[in-house]
Structure 1
């Protein structure tokens, strides 16, 4: 703005220099705040930004009676911004604002005939630009979704992998500590999974893993519930519930696994360890350790069992 409005202009007057100088300073400071402290600005700022930009370009062009291509070129900034960051409706409104602002400048300065020609060319160019940029943004969003799915989902079962589950567990623990609502973590192993692989082959072992994952998902069906596979035959389930509800959920998981009829060796047995925050732990690491310890108790008790963790001062028992 300073270069085009002050340095390069042929009609440099005191009023023009003053207006452009003040606007340059104000907008530069605003840009610094947006760049360095975006959290200090209300969310509506990012929605209003392209409309403010389009209005500013129109006002300055009208103020200087500048209908040149260079002056109209600045309308690209609000169009590119909205196409990259805002939704479809906002894009339409920004294009309408740019078109109206351009008409407000071109028709008075150039007259009806030349103004209509330049206004039509500018409007079409801005629409095409918005379409191209929006299409590229959509493709980029889809690619990012695919990459995120590949990065955070177990490829065999489709449930969360260890990396994704660790993040979900940390967020759930932080939420539970803030809201004082309990969360339950179940650690689950398929009993004698190596025997399934050795007897029926790894293809059937993979089918068993997929069937167990489906059984876990059938119980962890609420929006905030999370099912993950940590590796091998070890699964985890994160539920927002207390100790008694977690015990009932473990029974539901056991019943869902018992209903699996797609495996030649029959439904797989499960050993389940359950720990609840804050009953058995105060942070994510303690909760995972308590659930692992309860799972160990279930296995030591003969497998095919559910063990509920005890507070840190006690030991876990199998039930």
Structure 2
């Protein structure tokens, strides 16, 4: 989005603190300090003080009552207010113009690149409207150019720091939620995705399939060919799983060791087809010295075999152990609730 808001909570507090500080400042500069006062002028400044202070308190303690568009318009409204106040008080001093820092910093922290360009342009125009009216032309040019350059450099620096911070956060999030070897979701991340998928299925009466699978005799691969080949096998299996679980809501995870899980928003037949596709994708692996690894797969579907995330995980695990007990290299479908000894086991196709 062109005007995407980065942090609504931070934006609301930034606006709130500015307005709560601006109220008393306007009262001081418009009512207390002027040597010459008029009744209309004092009345206007007192009214503005109350309005601005009240709006600041609303932004701080009741931000949910403020229309969201306000957080996008805040820096532009701030520029208009600052320019109007400087002209009303006939103040072109450096201190007065430095208040333009707020919309520049706000936009650089919370809004998009295009918004930054617009704000910097308007700050320059607002400052020009003040200094070229109040000061003599030569000094006005100097002050205007100096402030424009300073504000532009400030915006560029803050925007660059924000970009570095966001990239660092992305790296940390990847490290926190992804398996470092295979790049798929780790247990913590997968548990969250499973809970969300089950919640979606319960709300919309949909189906969610969970595949739990092990690489058959993975220890033998490590012992025979070394851990480097074992790691390569894990990576290739993860790639095969990702090639099958390619939907927007599909998730592949590694729970540890050679155990993987695949979450699909599909029914029992779709899960069966996906398990067959996984086997075909793994069977096509040709880069391992010992050939493609075998897989034991357990499949469970909500609501066919479970009604909660915990039950779905338990049913998929039970089906996996059924497949392993049946001789490995098999796909086992979980039991319907209350059923016994009716697991559907299908041998994996022979790889030539």
Provide TM-score, normalisation by structure 1: 0.93
Which deviates more from structure 2 when the two are superposed, residues 106-115 or residues 220-229? 106-115
1:28 corresponds, among 53, 58, 66, to 53
Distance 1:227 1:71 in 2: 56
Distance 1:144 1:38 in 2: 26
Indicate conservation of the 8 Å contact 2:23/2:53, yes or no: no
Indicate conservation of the 8 Å contact 2:207/2:266, yes or no: yes
* SS of structure 2 residue aligned to 1:188: strand
1:49 corresponds, among 62, 74, 85, to 74
User: How many corresponding residue pairs?
Assistant: 319
TM-fit CA distance, 1:16: 4.5
Deviations 1:242-268 (A, max 9, x none): 111111000000111111112222111
TM-fit CA distance, 1:60: 1.4
Q: Provide closer, same or farther for how the CA distance between residues 242 and 34 of structure 1 changes in structure 2, counting only shifts above 3 A.
A: farther
Equivalent residue, structure 1, for 2:325: 300
Indicate conservation of the 8 Å contact 1:297/1:318, yes or no: no
Q: Structure 1 residue 117 and structure 2 residue 142: aligned?
A: yes
Distance 1:295 1:33 in 2: 56
Distance 1:37 1:185 in 2: 43
Distance 2:217 2:328 in 1: 9
Q: Structure 1 residue 318 and structure 2 residue 318: aligned?
A: no
Equivalent residue, structure 1, for 2:316: 291
Q: Structure 1 residue 229 and structure 2 residue 254: aligned?
A: yes
| Unaligned residue ranges in structure 1 (runs of 5+) | none
Equivalent residue, structure 2, for 1:10: 33
Q: Provide closer, same or farther for how the CA distance between residues 263 and 70 of structure 1 changes in structure 2, counting only shifts above 3 A.
A: same
Distance 2:168 2:288 in 1: 36
Distance 1:285 1:216 in 2: 22
Distance 2:42 2:24 in 1: 11
Deviations 1:221-241 (A, max 9, x none): 122211110101110111111
Equivalent residue, structure 1, for 2:15: none
TM-fit CA distance, 1:37: 4.1
TM-fit CA distance, 1:185: 1.1
Distance 1:271 1:265 in 2: 18
Which deviates more from structure 2 when the two are superposed, residues 79-88 or residues 40-49? 40-49
Equivalent residue, structure 1, for 2:233: 208
Provide TM-score, normalisation by structure 2: 0.85
